[in-house]
Amino acid sequence: MKRLTRVLTVAVLAGLGAASLSADTYTPGEPVRGKFENLAKEFLDYHCFDCHDGETQKGDLNLLDLGPVDETNAAVWKSVWAQVSLQEMPPKKKDRPEVIKRLRFADWIVSELQRVMEDKGGFHAHLDPKKGNFLDHNLLFGPLPDGIKLAPASSPARIWRVTPQEHITRLNELINTEPQFDPKKPGLRTRGDVVPTNHGGELKLYFGTDRIIKWQGGTVAYATSVKSIPVVLSSARKHGFENYPDFYTVNSAEATQILSKAEDILRYMAYGPLSIAKPEQITDDPKTYAPEGDLRGLPTAITYSTKIVRPMTPVHELMKNPGVADKGLRAAVDYLFEALTFRPPGKTESDDYLEIVKDSIDKVGKENGVFLGLSSIFLDRDALFRPELVETSKPDKDGRVMLQDWELGLAVNHALRYLKPDAELRQAIADGRMRTRADVEREVTRMLADDRIRKPRILRFFKDYFDHDLGGYICKDDKALATTGVASRGNSHYRAMFDAAASTDRLIELILEKDKGVLKELLTTQQVVATRADNSYFGRKRTSEERSAAQVAKKKAEAELAKKVAVDLKPIVAELAEIETQLKNLKGDPESRKILKELTDQKKKLVAAKKKIEGNKKGNQNNVNIAVAEAKLTGLKIYSRVSHRSFGNGSMKPERTLVTAPEGQRLGILTHPSWLVSHSDAMDNHAIHRGIWIRERLLGGGIPDVPITVDAMLPDEPQMPLRERMRVTREDYCWTCHKKMDPLGLPFEMYNHAGLFRTTELNEPVDTSGEIIDSGDPQLDGPVKNALEMIQKLSKSKRVEQVFVRHAFRFWMGRNETLNDAPALQDAHKAYRDGGGSMNALIASLVTSEAFLYRTVEE
Amino acid sequence: MINRRNILHGLAAGVSSAFLPNFASAAPSIKSGGGPKRVIFFMQNQGFDPRTCIPAGMKNSGSLAGIKLPEPISALEPFKERLQIINGLHGKHTSPSHSAFFGALGGYRGSDGVRPSASTIDYELSKVLPETLLPHLCVGMDSMENMKGKPTVANLSASGAGQPIFMHSNPNHLYEMLYGGISQGDIRSQHEARSGMFDRIEEMAAARGKTLPTADKQRFSQYVQGFNDINGLRGRLGKVSDHLRKFAPKVDDRYTNPEFETDWHDVNLDLGISALKSGITNVLTIGSGRGEIFGAWKGLGVEKQGHNLGHIDQPDNPIWIKIRQYNSRMLVKLMEELESVPEGSGTMMDKTLIVYTSNNADKQHTNGANWPVMLLGNCDGIFKSGCLTQLDGKRPINALYATILETVGVNSGRFNMSEQMAAKFDSGTGSLKEILA
């Protein structure tokens, strides 16, 4: 009866000519405007009030009194938008709205939220990459219902703030000369690869470390002594895509620091280590510099070689020559401008900065004025933001403008690189050969085919996609870490994790080099890039019985060794006693000097031999980790890209081996400790995060935000398995969402929270079962016995491949896909498939798509 | 997230505000009606051994009246009735070892090279205390070479995850920033050159922001606004130059030609005090040793420097007695200077809280099981004073920070500690009632 009344009301409203959601056609991107009463209320009435009115209030939600979108109910409307977009509501068993009606309703909510929140921080949730999957996958890759009319694709005209990695690479180019690519050692970091984080996971730029030949003190002292600057631009996101254009600006804290650090950089460009050290510290014979006292941690603790290795630039020339001539000043200005913005300055720009420098020199003299004045270029808009504004061309009939010349050239360059355009691309831009899709294809194909041209942006995509590089930042509880079986003292675990991230990076690169079935390979490879520590991390946590047995074996081995030592020592001890007696007897005898010397020498040798044998008493047993059955990882020696020397003995080492994972225990990156620990917490595994990752990044599903009323805490029961503690998420109210994540994350319980394979948990057989529920591909749905089975299933799925393509689209376009991008996504997926799972083909397709090439300028 | 406060904090570890402050004598009163109006954090590196501050034989909470303070802090004897020694907080979760770095004021795990995982207590206070031109000032004291070679470093304070706040160590730079507008000679020239350049950058940036799409314009305007704030601060400081002139320290040889690093330590303290007295800032963080494991005090006759100092057992050690005495004299100077400025019916000191501790708990190689703190100033009787408060070692430093925030009307929960962490690291809930009067 209640329903009938409402239907009648709506019929009356419709009869009166009110706007409705049930329009015949729908063009994505076109605003849906209308009043709540005659647009949204109809939808709520048909599809929501049955369960969410004053009488029923399912989930404690009464939508009857919701009313038009306003500041006070924005959170509820956001939740309605999420539920409807994800097709969680109305539930499957109820009448569901037509596709167009649903899309129009969701669009209406978004535009209303944007309107009412405009002066209250705005509404941006739909632009967040985590909400990208709110757009129905089947609409993007399946047939569209009648009435949906797609508009030509494009992206908005915009500026992108450069990323922290890009920024620090630009600065690094000014002061450090990096090695060129060596095809014989393809894994070593070379010019154009990203400036890596140091052993503490910190992105920092170091001055002159390639000239340091001596220093005082250990790692910490060395680190403190070396001049460095930390990354200044912030990056607030920890997970997923970090760099949509609308995420960041440059705040004044950052601007002030950039300016201050610019002066340090400029001085180093001019004077090299002399800008940070005393003349006597620069010598090829460190013995000549022997300062007194304890200098650890001080800049004076370092000796630099005399060999000049930094790039020699017009800044050096300017300061080397006396006086200030316009020519030298302009050369320095133009050089810096292009080094920092990646394009040559226009005449006005060059004049403006020249004037600033001259003005500074007038005020404070050459020395300070040059550095102060030139530092202003570091704050040029285009040194911090990359423009895609298409200001010089006219829009086509659809309101789109194709990127041209420098904007297009830099967009293509940015798609792959952190360095400025190479000579060929620069020439192409200058010659007017960066204006068409064919131009882009030519340059992208050229760059993708050339290994010497480093392309760290591709690796960045995989870092953002997999989130496998967060393990070193997960603060582990010491005791909880100790129970995993890995070394938990000091920083060894964190360093192992930063090493592991570099190893996984290298594995990804190796798979990209082959460029065949890339996603499938990443998900199922048996290859592992390993360090020595990985013998533990890729090992198996022993069961309690095995640990006891190992302990017994260790003691036995120690005892046997002790026995052997005793046997070995016996003749030495006897001989020593004999010598002692002889020495005693000969003492004071002037004629026996020669014999005395011989005996003394022999005694020394015997004492040394005794010491050595005694030292071996425990043999290698001290290093035996009884908690872990270590993997015996041996294989080809290779390299991973780790830091430029930053911390002396504490620097990360590039040496790695390419090995095969222990059989039946691992399958692809998701089973590597780097990924597993990145998705763990201080005390245990994080099955929920792992499940969310699978749901979002492989299945293309979305999860609404946690309702603010939910106290998202698992019970603190250290003696209970995680699966048992997660019982709270299986309560009806929670399970609606948690069924999308928990059963996908729990199969990874076959590993502990340091990433070691295990068969037991708390001395009971570990339960690794899970289930794929409502994946969107019925063939995938169903129970799985462990992570390996689940990954095998997923790796064969076409849908998973398409979801991967969606993520690549987001990364390279810097925005979420819309329905208008469906053709580009389908083309990209086809290119990937036709290329046999080729990442290069996928990238080339995306970068030559209309979404990449065209910009829409708002009216 | 960018907000006005963050932008304001931009200016060299927190310069600027949108309006002229009312200055010390007329600073607006806080809503809660109590609590400090300004807070100073003094962080000595290498640990703060409780035996260097707790009178011998004193094991339990109790009054300090009639009890002689230990030699290292004997300079505080005349101010004993304002002193509360708190022993038995912990920072085990901050992994101090050599230094907890940002974790010392943040109450979270910190280590060399680890970026801050959240904002620190000094920054949080600067957001809620009466607004000033420069919400938060950090000064750092180190060896002369380090202060010259790296005049700004960030190890202790942060405005959010991954957002360190820099501390100033070169007093010439700091003076130029604060008092460039009223200075003469080289400092004046530098100030003018810098101001001219900033004006020009702002002008150019503003011109290039005009044609941006609406959404980008808003984002870019924050960038331009940053320069506007920097230039605005210079302008505002310039406008109140007559007022500032009264408080600006006199630049002498210690600035330009220091004999020892302690000359710069002293003048950096003077600059910090002047910023408080003039009302430029309400939160001052002093990093003696700049949050690291080095530092030098040759001016005190301490020849050893750096890491080795940390290996010395502090009690009864002549070097550490000298350093702690030096700290204590600085604390006395802070109190006396603030006492000399009337505020309301009393003095500035009446509404000032000084938190003295270490960025490294109780010693150099420590697990953080004990984190001694001295509070100076009871803020009109809100905090206990004239006493030792002995705690049971089961509440974290976060509880202290949450309590201070509470006294200025902010409920920060457990301050940077999740319930999951608290289950392991905090035996209680709510404020540290033991330290409140």
Chain B CB within 8 Å of residue A299 CB = yes
**What is the pLDDT, as a whole number, of residue A474?**
85
Q: Does one domain contain both A599 and A711?
A: no
Q: Does one domain contain both A76 and A214?
A: no
CA angle A778, A784, A790 (to 5 degrees): 80
B308 within a domain of the structure (yes/no): yes
Nearest to A778 by CA among A763, A764, A752, A799: A799
**Which residue type does B25 have?**
S
B215 → closest Cβ in A199, A246, A385: A246
**Which residue type does A646 have?**
S
- Measured between CA atoms, the residue of chain B closest to residue A713 is B420
**CATH code where residue B411 lies:** 3.40.720
A434 within a domain of the structure (yes/no): no
Q: Do B198 and B15 contact (CB within 8 A), yes or no?
A: no
B contacts of A369 (beta carbons < 8 Å): 193
Chain B CB within 8 Å of residue A199 CB = yes
**What is the pLDDT, as a whole number, of residue A475?**
78
How far is B335 from B72, CA to CA, in rounded Å?
18
How far is B161 from A239, CA to CA, in rounded Å?
14
**What is the pLDDT, as a whole number, of residue B306?**
66
B24 within a domain of the structure (yes/no): yes
A294 → closest Cβ in B219, B225, B304: B304
- Measured between CA atoms, the residue of chain B closest to residue A198 is B113
B339 within a domain of the structure (yes/no): yes
How far is B419 from B422, CA to CA, in rounded Å?
5
In terms of phi and psi (left: phi > 0; alpha: psi -120 to 50; beta: otherwise), the region of A405 is: left
CA A328 to chain CA mean position, Å: 41
* Tokens read off for B342: 């009337």
A799-826 as b/e, with b when 16 or more CB fall inside 10 Å?
Answer: bbbbbbbbbbbbbbbbbbbbbbbbebbb
Helix (H, G, I), strand (E, B) or coil at A466: helix
Chain B CB within 8 Å of residue A138 CB = no
Does A297 contact B293 at a Cβ distance shorter than 8 Å? yes
Indicate the DSSP class of residue A696: I
How far is B37 from B348, CA to CA, in rounded Å?
8
Q: Does one domain contain both A181 and A251?
A: yes
How far is B230 from B227, CA to CA, in rounded Å?
5
Domain total for chain B?
A: 1
Helix (H, G, I), strand (E, B) or coil at B86: strand
A40 within a domain of the structure (yes/no): yes
Does B16 contact A252 at a Cβ distance shorter than 8 Å? yes
Pairing of β B342-343 and β B346-347: antiparallel
A contacts of B205 (beta carbons < 8 Å): 379, 381
B9 → closest Cβ in A201, A253, A475: A253
Helix (H, G, I), strand (E, B) or coil at B61: coil
**Which residue type does A605 have?**
K
- Largest Cα separation within chain B, whole Å, is 72
Does B114 contact A201 at a Cβ distance shorter than 8 Å? yes
Handedness of CA A334, A336, A339, A342 (dihedral sign): negative
Local mean pLDDT, 10-residue blocks, chain B (437 residues): 33 33 34 77 96 95 95 96 97 84 92 80 94 88 86 87 84 87 80 86 86 80 76 78 87 92 97 94 96 89 75 88 96 97 93 97 89 95 96 96 95 89 88 94
Q: Does one domain contain both A527 and A548?
A: no
B205 within a domain of the structure (yes/no): no
A232 within a domain of the structure (yes/no): yes
Q: Does one domain contain both A489 and A566?
A: no
> Distance of CA A30 to CAs A22, A129, A402, Å?
15, 21, 21
Which residue is it, tokens 């007559």? Answer: B242
For residue A584, the tally of other CB atoms under 10 A from its CB is 8
Handedness of CA B44, B48, B51, B53 (dihedral sign): positive
Which residue is it, tokens 């530098």? Answer: B190
How far is A19 from B313, CA to CA, in rounded Å?
81
Does B294 contact A159 at a Cβ distance shorter than 8 Å? no
Q: Does one domain contain both A249 and A299?
A: yes
Chain B CB within 8 Å of residue A244 CB = no
Q: Which residues of A, range 682-711, sit inside 8 Å of B by Cβ?
A: 682-683
From B210's Cα to the closest Cα of chain A, the distance in A is 12
How far is A281 from B145, CA to CA, in rounded Å?
14
B52 within a domain of the structure (yes/no): yes
CA Rg, chain B, in Å? 21
Domain total for chain A?
A: 4
- Which residue range forms the structural domain that includes residue B256? 4-173+249-435
A321 burial via Cβ count (<10 Å: 0-12, 13-18, 19+): exposed
Q: Does one domain contain both A236 and A114?
A: no
**What is the pLDDT, as a whole number, of residue A642?**
85
B161 → closest Cβ in A159, A236, A299: A236
- Which residue range forms the structural domain that includes residue A617? 544-626
A350 within a domain of the structure (yes/no): yes
Q: Do B59 and B329 contact (CB within 8 A), yes or no?
A: no
From A256's Cα to the closest Cα of chain B, the distance in A is 6
**What is the pLDDT, as a whole number, of residue A709?**
57
Q: Do A684 and A753 contact (CB within 8 A), yes or no?
A: yes
B138, B307, B426, B427, best to mutate vs chain A, most A CBs in 10 Å: B307
A401-437 as b/e, with b when 16 or more CB fall inside 10 Å?
Answer: bbbbbbbbbbbbbbbbbbbbbbeebbebbeeebbbee
Q: Do B114 and B417 contact (CB within 8 A), yes or no?
A: no
Does B149 contact A384 at a Cβ distance shorter than 8 Å? no
CA Rg, chain A, in Å? 33
Omega before A90 within 30 of 0, i.e. cis: yes
Ranges of residues in chain A with a pLDDT under 50 are 1-18
A123 burial via Cβ count (<10 Å: 0-12, 13-18, 19+): buried
* Angle, helix A99-116 to helix A74-85, in steps of 10 degrees: 150
Chain B CB within 8 Å of residue A374 CB = no
Chain B CB within 8 Å of residue A352 CB = yes
Q: Do B222 and B2 contact (CB within 8 A), yes or no?
A: yes
Q: Does one domain contain both A722 and A695?
A: yes
Pairing of β A782-784 and β A854-856: unpaired
How far is B295 from B98, CA to CA, in rounded Å?
13
Q: Which residues of A, range 456-495, sit inside 8 Å of B by Cβ?
A: 473, 475, 477, 491
How many alpha carbons lie under 13 Å from residue A844 in its C-beta half-sphere?
21
B208 within a domain of the structure (yes/no): no
**Which residues sit opposite B383 in a β-bridge?**
B436
B50 within a domain of the structure (yes/no): yes
A228 within a domain of the structure (yes/no): yes
Q: Does one domain contain both A338 and A236?
A: yes
Strands (E), A688-772: 757-758, 760-761, 764-765, 770-772
The structure's pTM equals 0.81
Chain B CB within 8 Å of residue A321 CB = no
Nearest to B137 by CA among B171, B160, B112: B171
Chain B CB within 8 Å of residue A263 CB = no
- Measured between CA atoms, the residue of chain A closest to residue B185 is A364
A249, A356, A478, best to mutate vs chain B, most B CBs in 10 Å: A249
How far is A760 from A196, CA to CA, in rounded Å?
37
A contacts of B16 (beta carbons < 8 Å): 252
B contacts of A202 (beta carbons < 8 Å): 113-115
From B101's Cα to the closest Cα of chain A, the distance in A is 13
Q: Does one domain contain both A9 and A118?
A: yes
Does A376 contact B197 at a Cβ distance shorter than 8 Å? yes
A352 within a domain of the structure (yes/no): yes
B112 → closest Cβ in A220, A256, A858: A220
B183 within a domain of the structure (yes/no): no
How far is A119 from A463, CA to CA, in rounded Å?
35
Nearest to B195 by CA among B169, B226, B233: B233
Does B165 contact A253 at a Cβ distance shorter than 8 Å? yes
Q: Do A181 and A451 contact (CB within 8 A), yes or no?
A: yes
B contacts of A353 (beta carbons < 8 Å): none
How far is A31 from A859, CA to CA, in rounded Å?
14
**What is the pLDDT, as a whole number, of residue A621?**
56
Helix (H, G, I), strand (E, B) or coil at A310: coil
Chain B CB within 8 Å of residue A157 CB = yes
Of A774, A796, A818, which residue sits at a domain end?
A: A796
B contacts of A682 (beta carbons < 8 Å): 420-421
B contacts of A713 (beta carbons < 8 Å): 419-420
Beta-carbon contacts below 8 Å between A and B: 196
How far is B198 from B181, CA to CA, in rounded Å?
14
* Tokens read off for B221: 């305007």
What is the ipTM, given to two decimal places? 0.77
For residue B253, the tally of other CB atoms under 10 A from its CB is 9
Does B226 contact A363 at a Cβ distance shorter than 8 Å? no
- Measured between CA atoms, the residue of chain B closest to residue A164 is B162
Does B227 contact A252 at a Cβ distance shorter than 8 Å? yes
How far is B413 from B399, CA to CA, in rounded Å?
9
Handedness of CA A40, A46, A47, A48 (dihedral sign): positive
How far is A583 from A578, CA to CA, in rounded Å?
9
Q: Does one domain contain both A210 and A245?
A: yes
Q: Does one domain contain both A195 and A302?
A: yes
Nearest to B100 by CA among B85, B86, B113: B113
Q: Do B36 and B351 contact (CB within 8 A), yes or no?
A: yes
Residues 6+ apart with CB under 8 A from A623: none
